[in-house]
Amino acid sequence: MNGDTLIRVEKLQKHYNGGVIKALDGINTEIKKGEVVVVIGPSGSGKSTFLRCLNLLEVPTGGNIFFEGVDITDEKVNINIHRQKMGMVFQHFNLFPHMTILKNMIIAPMKLRKKSEAEATELAMKLLRRVGLEDRANAYPSQLSGGQKQRIAIVRALCMEPEVMLFDEPTSALDPEMVGEVLEVMKQLAHDNMTMVVVTHEMGFAREVGSRVMFMAEGRQVEEGTPEEIFDHPKSERLQTFLAKVL
């Protein structure tokens, strides 16, 4: 149901070198079902670290993360089960080069959700059609363009039928002419009510698709609000300076 809390983050902290580097310094936020949270901020502000903490690719040094009510920072929790419901898309795609596109998409559903090959293939082909790449099912990743690779990476994650999708600068490694096709897929996803957390420098996307924008600097959330609040009425000087540079 829309509006229910999916992820709750409390006092999230990630320190390196025994506290010398504070990549995250006390983040508190709630991500509700169906929300598209866009995270913006200058380089080194902790955006990636925040995103990667959400599925514990980075282990936080403090604070708690509740996913569907379960504290996944608890050592006794089997994180692999929860990660199955959290899709992630990386800047550099990270498709598996030794597998065909289809295999990339069906291996996790088959091995982890015990789907039959036919069942997994059916969903994969449906998703491939949706992003217009059904004719590349048997190609290898190296035979695709960057934009195509990223679209595959998105549908590969969708094959696990996740509750939330995490994006870390999904268009930053792309040639400019390929950015649009990837953003289009993400917009479609948002339209279909997928819960999304998106780290991006695409301010147009943030404004158009974001239900909430979070501005980070030096490991803290400096300002948070609707796209209008953030882009049209920035309160903090930090955000104003940042926007002046990127807009």
Partner 1 sequence: MDFKSKFIANFIDDDRWKYIWNGLGVTLKVTFFAVLLGIAIGVLVAIIRSTHEKNSKSMRMGFGKAVLAILNTICKVYLTVIRGTPVVVQLMIMYYIILADSRNKVLVATLAFGINSGAYVAEIFRSGIMSIDEGQFEAGRSLGFNFVQTMRYIIIPQAFKNVLPALANEFIVLLKETSVVGYVALQDLTKGGDIIRSRTFDAFMPLFGVALIYLIMVLFFTWLVGRLERRLRNSER
Ligand X SMILES: Nc1ncnc2c1ncn2[C@@H]1O[C@H](COP(=O)(O)OP(=O)(O)OP(=O)(O)O)[C@@H](O)[C@H]1O
Residue span 146-185 as binding mask against partner 1, x where in contact by CB under 8 A, dash where not: ----------xx--x-------------------------
The position carrying tokens 């320190």 is 15
Q: Which is nearer to ligand X, 45 or 121 (CB)?
A: 45
Q: Smallest distance from the beta carbon of 49 to ligand X, in angstroms? A: 3
Sign of torsion, CA 43 48 49 50?
positive
Q: Which is nearer to partner 1, 43 or 80 (CB)?
A: 80
- Residue 219 touches partner 1, criterion: CB under 8 A: no
From 92, 130, 201, 207, residue interacting with partner 1 (rule: CB under 8 A): 92
Q: Where are the beta strands (DSSP E) in the chain?
A: 5-16, 21-32, 36-40, 62-67, 70-71, 86-89, 164-168, 195-199, 212-217, 220-225
Sites for partner 1 among residues 198-217 (CB under 8 A): none
Can you give the C-alpha Rg of the chain in angstroms?
18
Q: Which is nearer to Mg ion, 23 or 164 (CB)?
A: 23
Q: Give residues with Cβ within 8 angstroms of 182, minimum separation 6.
A: 147, 150, 151, 154, 170, 171, 174
24 φ/ψ sector (left φ>0, alpha ψ -120 to 50, else beta): beta
Of the candidates 169, 192, 181, which has an alpha carbon nearest to the alpha carbon of residue 41?
A: 169
- Residue 21 touches partner 1, criterion: CB under 8 A: no
Q: Which is nearer to Mg ion, 48 or 73 (CB)?
A: 48
Give the one entry of partner 1, ligand X, Mg ion, none that residue 2 binds, where binding means its C-beta sits below a cut-off of 5 to 8 angstroms depending on kind: none
- Residue 48 touches Mg ion, criterion: CB under 5 A: yes
Q: Give residues with Cβ within 8 angstroms of 49, minimum separation 6.
A: 14, 23, 24, 58, 219
Looking at 52-60, 115-123, 185-193, 231-239, which segment touches partner 1 (CB under 8 A)?
52-60
Q: Smallest distance from the beta carbon of 244 to ligand X, in angstroms? A: 17
- Residue 60 touches partner 1, criterion: CB under 8 A: no
- Residue 86 touches partner 1, criterion: CB under 8 A: yes
- Residue 76 touches partner 1, criterion: CB under 8 A: no
Q: Which is nearer to partner 1, 70 or 112 (CB)?
A: 112
DSSP string, 97-159: TTS-HHHHHHHHHHHHS---HHHHHHHHHHHHHHTT-GGGTTS-GGGS-HHHHHHHHHHHHHT
Interface ranges with partner 1 (CB under 8 A): 55, 57, 59, 75, 80-81, 83-84, 86-88, 90, 92, 94-98, 107-108, 111-112, 140, 142, 156-157, 160
